[in-house]
Structure 1
Amino acid sequence: MRRLSLFALTTAAAALAAGPATADQHDAQVPLSAEELLQPYYEKLQQQIELPVAPPNAGIAPETVITRLAFGSCNHQSRSQHMWAQIAATNPELFLFIGDNNYGDQGWDGDAALTTLRQAYQTQAQTPELTAFRSQIPMMITWDDHDFGFNDGGASFTYRDWSETIFETFWGASDEVKSRPGIYESRTFGTDGRLTQVIMLDTRFFRSDLAMMEYTPERPPLGPYVPSEDAAKTMLGGAQWEWLEQELAKPADLRVIVSSIQVITDAHNYESWEALPLERAKLYELLAAREDSGMVLLSGDRHAGGIYSDTPEAADGEQIWELTSSSLNYSFSSTERNTAREPDPKRLTDFISEENFGLVEIDWDARTFTTSLRGSEGEVRVTRTISF
């Protein structure tokens, strides 16, 4: 199928949508957004192609008491998939795939059909290791930029609706998720006294563009973004913020809150909640006001991981814990080098840069959970036990 530019697509779609217009009508017409103009194109495209679908996934009963929950991020579809067997060997009741689940933006030439993204998903659909894993371990999934479709992309990504359709079709999203823009989701598992609520945030679909550093001849070694105090900028968008407040008011004994990008740290200028400090303060305030429960934050994105803690004023001084795990198969550096490169008083461990996945083990009798990063052979790299 011949690929068309965004200009050609929107021009043609606009003509179809508008139809013949009189001189009087020109002033009365309301301009359509690029996403609205692209709708006829995508409706026709869906009639001509078959979107990839993930291998079948094991189910999980709502009354399942979670004692072991695994998670991971940054999984290149064409690299070794050996980590799936290591994760399965820990016997988690649930696995959270929390972003950059493939790298469908690599090689993308800007076509509106998001061909490389669909190809990345197709590769995953045919991956034996993922097929075997999904047949055993239930999964919940959110995205980050590379499987959203555009590096560091947010709400200004013109093709985000199509990307959402590809995501929801592949991973078999629930009717509730499909009924609204974005892919955020929450599920609660267990029985009274042992309820685990898993909240999967969408930090892509609604997120405002981040403020960039002023140009310098040398590229900043730890990212290009600077914090913005612009109150009009959002991380989650109004509807998701309202939904999150409602979810945090529900009963739970332990809440697992997933953000594809890091929340607590201030140590770098890559994407993180630090880039929108008013939004991060709002998050802390909502967390502090939640229905009484334990809590841990999970994040990815960084191609390195560690255990973080902070007691932010906006959270009424509560100690907040965050476990960052990245990557499953796309490491860039060594732990020694990365730890020295990014000093961080909020990170309590080395910055583990070799392949890793995260594990949260819950001891309901002791009312503790243990967070750990596991290496490519399942070995413990860092760990902390927290009471709740």
Structure 2
Amino acid sequence: MRSARHFTILLVLFFLAAGALYAQSTLLQSGPMLGYSEMREVLLWVQTKAPAKVQFKYWDKENPKQVFETETVQTSKEKAFTASLIADRVSPGKKYQYELYINGKKVERPYPLEFQTQVLWKYRTDPPDFTIATGSCAYINEPEFDRPGKPYGQGYEIFKAIYEKRPDAMLWLGDNIYLREADWNSRTGIYQRYQHTRSLPELQPLLASVHHYAIWDDHDFGPNDCDGSFWNKEQALEAFKCFWGNPSYGVGTLRGICTQFSWGDADFFLLDNRYYRTPQARKTGPRTILGKEQLEWLINALVASKATFKVIAIGGQVLNPVAVYETYANYAEERQLLIDTITKEAISGVIFLSGDRHFTELTMLPRKDSYPLYELTCSPLTSGVFKGARDEANNLRVEGTLVEEQNFALLKFSGKREERMLTISVYNKDGKELWSRSIKATDLQVPTQKVE
């Protein structure tokens, strides 16, 4: 009789404990996600379904007995129940495993939870080899709010394909969500759209073990083709801050989402092509995409950079000479000013990345007495494909690089210090390589002036 009572008590305790663990798992809305990585700290992100206390525990994979903890943060409705926590007990060049705790209970995930810190290599070794995934235009269907007809989003398995390539980081090139008509005029709508997109099951493993950086374009800023006059842009900015883990949002007094990060011997300059943009149809007054202050910051930062590769990421195409849709050619004066200033300042190693166009291509702009400028336009991830690209008069397109299906790219930076190379490889949604091109760092150098 006593043993039966003892068994009953144990059974009740087991189900109570199991229920508590299940309750914490059901509180998880999306994530965990890795944000920026530095040598001395890493950002970890998570979203819950309701107010909850969240914390991460982590350890060096080579020393699992020494466990560190982040601070505990209470999620709140004000920030859409998101939390960004800093792992600050880390060392350079290490790989870590981590666990998520909600209300003091560990939340199990059916995929690896790992992050890394950047390598301390300068004055010590050759630059490390590393790989950055990139892409744009991620439309996730929600029939209640989508336009009638054929679903616009498709091929969600692309996120599994990216994950299986094991990149070190991913740079999202804008239109990372698609605000609908029901979304962009309210805080509730904007945050709901972010939540719906971020909660996609196929996305979770990629979020959990690859470091993520992002810029925006029109669809994560407001209505289609919107500009800086959009009345609700501050709400869009606050939502972007809540759902991404960039090192900063704006630089100094410069508002918006522009920022900069480094990985190995590459500096990445993330531009805001919406916050300061003037209407494309405006006929009087200044016409700009970046705005004077942001353009000045970019040039100053490029000149100051000592990186082998200087990667400029912007939502829309820069080098395509055809003034269609929202290409920079529609703002010809500022576009030319940007290109001319890069040339006059003799800045080596510049590469452009862009999204937006719903097709992928590599553009090369020859320059007199300098190296050619390259731009990889990479789109779409899961949204519809634009089939008119082959009829555009982009005479700068590199032959064999046009892709008209869902795709992503990997940027592999490799080689010894004096032999660095960038290899751009584009893959379809199933992870099959579609094309690959390599660019030597020595081919991105401003020629040394000859002494007469």
Name the TM-score class by shorter chain.
0.7 to 0.9
Within 5 A, what are the aligned runs for 1:239-388? 239-248=293-302, 249-289=304-344, 292-312=347-367, 317-333=370-386, 337-348=387-398, 349-365=400-416, 366-388=419-441
Aligned partners of 1:75 and 1:327 also within 8 Å: yes
Per the TM alignment, residue 353 of structure 1 is displaced from its structure 2 partner at its CA by 1.4
Per the TM alignment, residue 83 of structure 1 is displaced from its structure 2 partner at its CA by 1.1
Secondary structure at the counterpart of residue 211 of structure 1: coil
Separation (CA, whole Å) in 1 of partners of 2:396 and 2:181: 36
- 1:96 maps to 171
Secondary structure at the counterpart of residue 210 of structure 1: coil
What is the RMSD computed on CA atoms of the aligned residues?
2.8
Cα 1:380–1:317 change in 2 (3 A) is: same
Larger Rg: 2
- 1:117 maps to 190
Separation (CA, whole Å) in 1 of partners of 2:198 and 2:390: 38
Per the TM alignment, residue 331 of structure 1 is displaced from its structure 2 partner at its CA by 2.6
- AA matched with 2:425: S
Within 5 A, what are the aligned runs for 1:167-246? 167-175=240-248, 177=250, 180-190=254-264, 195-211=265-281, 232-246=286-300
Alignment of 1:161 with 2:245, yes or no, is no
Separation (CA, whole Å) in 2 of partners of 1:359 and 1:115: 35
Secondary structure at the counterpart of residue 152 of structure 1: coil
- AA matched with 1:238: K
The structure in which a higher percent of residues are strand is: 2
Aligned partners of 2:183 and 2:193 also within 8 Å: no
Per the TM alignment, residue 287 of structure 1 is displaced from its structure 2 partner at its CA by 2.4
Per the TM alignment, residue 170 of structure 1 is displaced from its structure 2 partner at its CA by 1.4
Per the TM alignment, residue 286 of structure 1 is displaced from its structure 2 partner at its CA by 3.4
- 2:161 maps to 86
Cα 1:296–1:178 change in 2 (3 A) is: closer
Separation (CA, whole Å) in 2 of partners of 1:259 and 1:175: 16
1:121-146 Cα offsets, whole Å, 9 max, x none, are: 01123222322111110011000000
Separation (CA, whole Å) in 1 of partners of 2:338 and 2:114: 32
The runs of 5 or more residues in structure 2 that have no matched partner are 1-75, 86-112, 121-127, 142-152, 442-452
Separation (CA, whole Å) in 1 of partners of 2:339 and 2:204: 38
- AA matched with 2:140: Q
Separation (CA, whole Å) in 2 of partners of 1:351 and 1:235: 26
Alignment of 1:107 with 2:162, yes or no, is no
TM-score by length of 1: 0.74
The runs of 5 or more residues in structure 1 that have no matched partner are 1-46, 213-227
Secondary structure at the counterpart of residue 208 of structure 2: helix
- Number of aligned residue pairs: 316
Per the TM alignment, residue 99 of structure 1 is displaced from its structure 2 partner at its CA by 0.2
Per the TM alignment, residue 108 of structure 1 is displaced from its structure 2 partner at its CA by 2.7
TM-score by length of 2: 0.64
Q: Tell which deviates more after alignment, 290-299 or 261-270.
A: 290-299
Aligned partners of 2:251 and 2:258 also within 8 Å: no
Cα 1:323–1:110 change in 2 (3 A) is: closer
Per the TM alignment, residue 319 of structure 1 is displaced from its structure 2 partner at its CA by 0.4
| Equivalent residue for 2:140, pick from 66, 77, 85 | 77
- 2:52 maps to none
- Structure 1 segments, 4+ long, off by >4 Å, are 47-50, 54-60, 289-292
Separation (CA, whole Å) in 1 of partners of 2:81 and 2:333: 38
Separation (CA, whole Å) in 2 of partners of 1:91 and 1:374: 14
Q: Tell which deviates more after alignment, 47-56 or 92-101.
A: 47-56
